[in-house]
């Protein structure tokens, strides 16, 4: 019987035993009906639920062949959100402009404040247009024609490029707003890279004055996107510093043109910008977060699986690579994949049954893709009740599988060995985490929003 807690003594690290337990539990279930000769009726296995209301239903037809049906329903909404959210705001817009988990994730005065902020920003924008037009007139734009047409046209061009930039910042906030809590160091560094690219477009405007609007717009768009990455990331960093609730003081005390030939200006800008990027990287490298995101979670489980130790938050942050994307980390893990991808084209309900039995006591399902000559990719799908701890357990299992690779003919026995190791090894991992000063309440590993696995056939004995 596979259970969440290990039975008996602690798992002994070292040489991998050939057989940890009998594997009769993974045998395909016998056909129902006994010796009556009657065919087994169609039997539901599981359902994958997607945010747009689509469900993918996996069925066994009674002859080990898998049937997959797509069904369309009304998009599911969590009960708490549905009760509290303003019904006048469509779900898509609410997801785009409001924080995830609204209204439960913010204070009660958040929505009223933001609704008042919108007209405030609009009136400020109008003032900006009027002042820009006046400034352009003051420096002589339109003085030779005797009219204000040139100044007005220049103001429109100027404000147009700012408008495109504002749209870029709104886009970043709506599409990527949930990323910054997870890895603020990376996104703060990327903000400077993107801002540098925007400055290059703006520096090119004197060379191509006829293309001022597209160049300035692209520059402002890039810089606005950079601000969209920079500001929320930096708020997370400031909040990290404010241990005694003094966020306002820390923000207030944060530290915030040379005219010459164009060639000198460009060379000066490039030199200072490179120095700026290097200093930014160094400043972010000294940050020591106590939260466990995906990168730091990988570092912790890799150390425990390989060396049976867990580093403290100082060592872990020093080892963390700020710029690395998740797709370049090893082992390769893909979260939130459909069961159909795990089947690899096989239409076998037996394989689905084996996976469900193997992970009966886990809140996720993990399988292997590209197992063989190339490095395997571990595919993870999450059940309805999955949490950040479920993601951390799947990370531990994937790293154990990477360290204890076996041949392709025994995939399920290899997976079962990993589950048995997880049952005991993960308990030791959590104990060492606590001794190293990590707080289990600070695990911010996000569960993918879709697909969500919902088991329909729960009477399978393991």
Cα three-residue angle 357-298-426, rounded to 5 degrees: 45
Average pLDDT over residues 397-401: 96
Give the containing element (helix H, strand E) for 348. none
Q: Tens of pLDDT along 444-461?
A: 899 998 898 987 654 444
Among 4-13, 157-166, 241-250, 284-293, the range of highest mean pLDDT: 284-293
Location of structure tokens 């103001």:
155
Query: How large a percentage of the chain has pLDDT more than 70?
Result: 62
Q: What is the pLDDT of residue 356?
A: 92
- The arithmetic mean of pLDDT across residues 205-221, rounded, is 80
Average pLDDT, the chain: 75
CA dist 179 and 416 (Å) reads 34
pLDDT band at residue 260 under the 50/70/90 scheme: low
What is the pLDDT at residue 411?
87
Chain segment 272-282, per-residue pLDDT in tens: 888 888 888 89
Q: What are the contacts of 9-17 at 24+ separation with CB within 8 A? A: 10/424, 10/428, 11/420, 11/421, 11/423, 11/424, 11/425, 13/308, 13/425, 16/404, 16/417
Q: Judge contact between 441 and 430, C-beta under 8 A.
A: no
Q: Are 411 and 354 in contact (CB under 8 A)?
A: no
Inform me whether the pLDDT recorded for 155 exceeds 90. Answer: no
Which of helix, strand or coil describes residue 57? strand
Average pLDDT over residues 347-376: 86
Supply the pLDDT for residue 146: 46
pLDDT at residue number 220:
78
- Nearest 10 degrees: Cα torsion 150, 154, 156, 161: 160
Distance CA 295, CA 316 (A): 9
Residue 430 makes CB contacts below 8 A (sequence gap 6+) with: 440
Q: What is the pLDDT of residues 177-186, one digit of tens each?
A: 566 677 888 8
Please name the residue ranges forming H helices in 41-145: 79-84, 91-97, 110-138
CA distance 159 to 313: 46
pLDDT of residue 421: 96
Distance CA 355, CA 257 (A): 64
Max intra-chain CA distance, the chain: 102
Give per-residue pLDDT as tens, 227-258. Answer: 888 888 878 887 877 766 666 666 665 554 44
Q: 54-60 and 43-49: which strand pairing?
A: antiparallel
CB 439 within 8 A of CB 49: no
Q: Which is more confidently placed, 182 or 31?
A: 182
d(C-alpha 195, C-alpha 218), whole Å: 11
Burial 270-299 (b: 16+ CB within 10 A, else e): eeeeeeeeeebeeebeeeebebbbbbbbbb
- Give the C-alpha separation, 356 to 352, whole Å: 6
* pLDDT of 290 over the 70 cut: yes
Mean pLDDT of 375-379: 90
Place of tokens 């026995």: 413
Token output for 227 = 């601000």
- The CA-to-CA distance between both ends of the chain, in Å, stands at 6
- Average pLDDT value for residue range 19-32: 44
d(CA 382, CA 336): 7
> Comparing C-alpha atoms, which of 133, 158, 160 is closest to residue 147?
133
Task: Determine if the pTM surpasses 0.85.
Answer: no
Which range of 22-31, 356-365, 453-462 scores highest in mean pLDDT? It is: 356-365
Contact indicator for 411, 425 with CB cutoff of 8 Å: no
Instruction: Read off the pLDDT of residues 295-316 as tens digits, 9 standing for 90 and up.
Output: 999 999 999 999 999 999 999 9
pLDDT band at 5 (very low <50, low <70, confident <90, very high): very low
- Over residues 21-35, the mean pLDDT reads 45
């Amino acid at each position: 019987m596979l259970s969440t807690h290990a039975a008996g003594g602690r798992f002994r690290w070292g040489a991998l035993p050939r057989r940890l337990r009998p594997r009769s539990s993974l045998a395909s279930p016998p056909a129902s009906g006994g010796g009556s000769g009657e065919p087994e009726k169609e039997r539901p296995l599981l359902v994958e639920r997607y945010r747009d209301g689509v469900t993918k239903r996996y069925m066994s037809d009674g002859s080990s062949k898998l049937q997959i049906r797509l069904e369309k329903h009304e998009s599911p909404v969590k009960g708490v959100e549905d009760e509290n959210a303003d019904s006048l705001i469509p779900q898509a817009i609410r997801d785009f402009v409001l924080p995830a988990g609204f209204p439960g994730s913010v204070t009660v005065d958040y929505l009223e404040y933001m609704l008042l902020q919108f007209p405030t920003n609009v009136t400020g924008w109008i003032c900006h247009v009027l002042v820009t037009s006046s400034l352009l007139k003051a420096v002589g734009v339109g003085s030779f024609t005797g009219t204000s047409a040139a100044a007005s046209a220049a103001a429109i061009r100027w404000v147009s490029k700012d408008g495109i930039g504002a749209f870029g910042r709104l886009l970043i906030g709506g599409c990527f707003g949930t990323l910054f809590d997870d890895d603020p160091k990376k996104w703060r560094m990327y903000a400077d890279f993107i801002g540098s690219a925007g400055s290059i477009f703006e520096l090119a405007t004197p060379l191509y004055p006829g293309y001022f609007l597209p160049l300035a717009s692209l520059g402002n768009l890039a810089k606005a996107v950079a601000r969209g990455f920079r500001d929320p990331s930096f708020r997370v960093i400031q909040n990290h510093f404010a241990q005694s609730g003094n966020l306002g003081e820390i923000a207030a005390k944060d530290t915030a043109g040379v005219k010459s030939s164009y060639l000198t200006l460009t060379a000066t800008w490039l030199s200072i910008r490179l120095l700026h990027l290097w200093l930014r990287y160094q400043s972010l490298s000294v940050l020591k977060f106590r939260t466990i995101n995906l990168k730091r979670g990988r570092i912790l489980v890799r150390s425990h699986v390989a060396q049976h130790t867990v580093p403290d938050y100082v060592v872990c942050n020093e080892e963390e690579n700020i710029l690395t994307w998740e797709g370049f980390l090893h082992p390769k893990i893909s979260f939130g994949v459909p069961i159909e991808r795990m089947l690899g084209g096989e239409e076998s309900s037996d394989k689905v049954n084996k996976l469900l039995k193997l992970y009966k006591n886990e809140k996720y399902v993990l399988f292997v893709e590209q197992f063989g000559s190339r490095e395997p990719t571990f595919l993870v799908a999450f059940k309805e009740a999955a949490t950040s701890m479920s993601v951390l357990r799947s990370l531990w299992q994937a790293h154990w599988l990477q360290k204890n690779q076996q041949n392709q003919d025994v995939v399920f026995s290899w997976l079962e060995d990993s589950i048995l190791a997880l049952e005991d090894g993960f308990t030791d991992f959590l104990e060492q985490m606590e001794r190293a000063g990590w707080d289990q309440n600070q695990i911010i590993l996000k569960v993918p929003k879709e697909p969500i696995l919902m088991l329909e056939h729960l009477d399978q004995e393991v």
